[in-house]
């Protein structure tokens, strides 16, 4: 058989690659980066927070519970109330802020004292205009180390809510009526009775498509080039001539391509496993532990996030994962066969970089076509989806475009089957082409073969 002995090539290439210094060093570097990132995210905020102790107070959340908030930097505020409302300012004691009501004749005197104060104090003036609008003006000290604009705005937000409630009471509106009057108005857009994905879900889907395209591109191209480099190195060093005394030339490229695919799977599994281990180690302590401890699984925020993720990744399950793996394998085989053919077509290792340029150009065009189609808004649910459909059917771009479309549920089953079929057929046809010319060029020496030379060989 023409491919007999491919398993020996696979085993030899795989072990040689995973034992190489470059593979070991790259994994150590990636592991170190993940270690630093996980440690930084987990402990750095806590270390920064420990440098400056924050004064925390408990405030009623209005639902029978309490919440912890950072105490206001302002310790005292003078209040001149010209609103005509009967406002109770005793709530300030809850926020550990002292207050003093002043009369209008003391406004200028108090303003001057606040401007030159050496303690965090402010002057608040509440006025009501002719149109009925309320104006809340807070005068702060000139020294920004005492009180900043942001400190004033935080306290003004609290005063705004209090003035609003006092105005409702003055109009004879009860607390229950206030709640009904401020009830939010929710609008919906449906398609045949079903809600389309929200903007957040569409954004998540777009980002997942772009990230998936980038990851697939890096894995396929990086290890595809390693295939070409491995074949070219063995050919130019005459190792391949010794290898061909016991196995057929076609078995070499089959074993090399499959070995590199196993190397990819090994490295991805190592990275995912290391990330999971690091997360389990760091999560119980530090910031991550505090975050997960504060998260309530039945909260409205978690329900909203879950709904958006469910909408963004509609119908994503085990079958979709298997399809993504299949697409990755087909895409890797397609580009690795090209790379292997390029590696076998050169006679000097110095020519490898130049020979790989056409493949780099084609792969870059395919990647950018799949990467930027979602950014342009030309998604499959839009009016102009030419670029998106083109990226899903071209074999140079479909390995990068299809995984994201599957994750976001933006591709119909029929279109997905057709796209995978086109990619599989392209791989099969190119494999036949490689089978015809590979045995002729593997021992070729001379000027670098061009594509037209290989096509002539295939015809013969």
> Measured between alpha carbons, how far is 239 from 249 in angstroms, rounded to an integer?
13
Is the same domain home to 141 and 223? Answer: no
pLDDT at residue 460, as a whole number: 65
Mean pLDDT of the chain: 76
pLDDT at residue 53, as a whole number: 46
Residue 203 lies in a domain: yes
Is the same domain home to 235 and 342? Answer: yes
* Token pair listed for 254: 């089959």
Is the same domain home to 151 and 237? Answer: no
Residue 276 lies in a domain: yes
3-class DSSP string for 128-164: ECCCCCEEEEEECCCCCCCCCHHHHHHHHHHHHHHHH
| Residue after which a domain boundary falls, among 133, 151, 181 | 181
Please, what sign has the CA dihedral across residues 377, 382, 384, 386?
Answer: positive
Residue 191 lies in a domain: no
Is the same domain home to 101 and 130? Answer: yes
Is the same domain home to 14 and 142? Answer: no
Please, what sign has the CA dihedral across residues 68, 69, 70, 75?
Answer: negative
pLDDT at 374 over 90: no
* Token pair listed for 418: 């057709």
Residue 50 lies in a domain: no
pLDDT at residue 449, as a whole number: 66
| Residue after which a domain boundary falls, among 157, 181, 205 | 181
Is the same domain home to 228 and 95? Answer: no
Render pLDDT for 409-446 as a digit per residue (tens, 0 to 9): 778 889 999 999 999 999 888 887 777 776 677 666 66
Q: Which of 87, 218, 98, 217 is nearest to 159 (CA)?
A: 87
Residue 372 lies in a domain: yes
Domain that holds residue 79: 57-181
- Which contiguous run of DSSP H or E holds residue 432? helix 413-441
**pLDDT bracket for residue 21 (50, 70, 90):** confident
Count of the separate structural domains present in the chain? 2
| Residue after which a domain boundary falls, among 148, 181, 214 | 181
Is the same domain home to 316 and 382? Answer: yes
Render pLDDT for 259-313 as a digit per residue (tens, 0 to 9): 888 888 888 888 778 777 777 776 666 555 554 554 444 555 555 555 655 655 6
Is the same domain home to 404 and 274? Answer: yes
Is the same domain home to 240 and 207? Answer: yes
Q: Regarding predicted confidence, which is higher, 100 or 199?
A: 100
pLDDT at 80 over 90: yes
Q: DSSP H helical segments within 283-356, as ranges? A: 286-294, 300-312, 318-345, 352-355
Cα torsion through 161, 162, 166, 167, rounded to 10: -30
- Among 10-19, 187-196, 350-359, top mean pLDDT goes to 10-19
pLDDT at 51 over 90: no
Residue 43 lies in a domain: no
pTM of the predicted model as reported, rounded to 2 decimal places: 0.59
């Amino acid at each position: 058989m023409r491919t007999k002995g491919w398993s020996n090539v696979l085993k030899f290439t795989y072990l040689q690659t995973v034992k190489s210094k470059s593979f070991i060093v790259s994994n150590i570097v990636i592991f170190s980066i993940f270690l630093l990132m996980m440690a930084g995210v987990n402990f750095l905020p806590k270390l920064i927070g420990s440098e400056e102790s924050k004064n925390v107070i408990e405030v009623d959340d209005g639902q029978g519970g309490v919440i912890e908030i950072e105490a206001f930097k302002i310790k005292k505020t003078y209040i001149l109330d010209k609103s005509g409302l009967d406002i109770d300012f005793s709530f300030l004691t809850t926020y550990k802020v002292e207050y003093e009501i002043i009369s209008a004749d003391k406004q200028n005197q108090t303003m001057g004292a606040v401007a030159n104060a050496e303690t965090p104090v402010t002057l608040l003036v509440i006025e009501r205009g002719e149109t009925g609008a309320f104006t809340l003006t807070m005068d702060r000290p000139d020294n920004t180390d005492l009180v900043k604009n942001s400190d004033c705005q935080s306290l003004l937000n609290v005063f705004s809510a209090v003035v609003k409630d006092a105005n409702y009471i003055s109009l004879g509106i009860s607390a229950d009526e206030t709640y009904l009057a401020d009830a939010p108005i929710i609008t919906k857009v449906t398609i045949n009775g079903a809600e389309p994905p929200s903007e957040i879900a569409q954004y998540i889907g777009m980002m997942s498509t772009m990230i998936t395209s980038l990851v697939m591109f890096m894995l396929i191209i990086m290890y595809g080039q390693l295939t070409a480099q491995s074949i070219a190195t063995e050919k130019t060093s005459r190792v391949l001539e010794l290898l061909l005394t016991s196995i057929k030339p076609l078995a070499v490229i089959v074993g090399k391509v499959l070995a590199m695919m196993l190397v990819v799977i090994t490295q991805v599994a190592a990275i995912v496993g290391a990330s999971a281990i690091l997360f389990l180690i760091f999560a119980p302590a530090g910031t991550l532990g505090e975050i997960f401890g504060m998260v309530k699984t039945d909260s409205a925020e978690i329900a909203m996030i879950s709904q958006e993720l469910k909408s963004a990744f509609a119908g994503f399950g085990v079958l979709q994962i298997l399809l993504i793996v299949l697409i990755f394998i087909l895409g890797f085989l397609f580009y690795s066969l090209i790379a292997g053919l390029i590696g076998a077509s050169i006679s000097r290792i110095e020519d490898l970089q130049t020979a790989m340029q056409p493949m780099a150009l084609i792969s870059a065009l395919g990647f950018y076509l799949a990467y930027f189609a979602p950014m342009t808004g030309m998604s499959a649910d839009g009016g102009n989806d030419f670029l998106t459909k083109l990226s899903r059917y071209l074999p140079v771009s479909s390995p990068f475009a299809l995984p994201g479309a599957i994750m976001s549920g933006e591709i119909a089953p029929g279109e997905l089957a057709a796209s995978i079929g086109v990619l599989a057929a392209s791989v099969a046809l190119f494999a036949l082409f490689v089978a015809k010319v590979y045995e002729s060029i593997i021992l070729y020496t001379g000027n670098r073969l061009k594509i037209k030379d290989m096509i002539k060989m295939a015809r013969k």
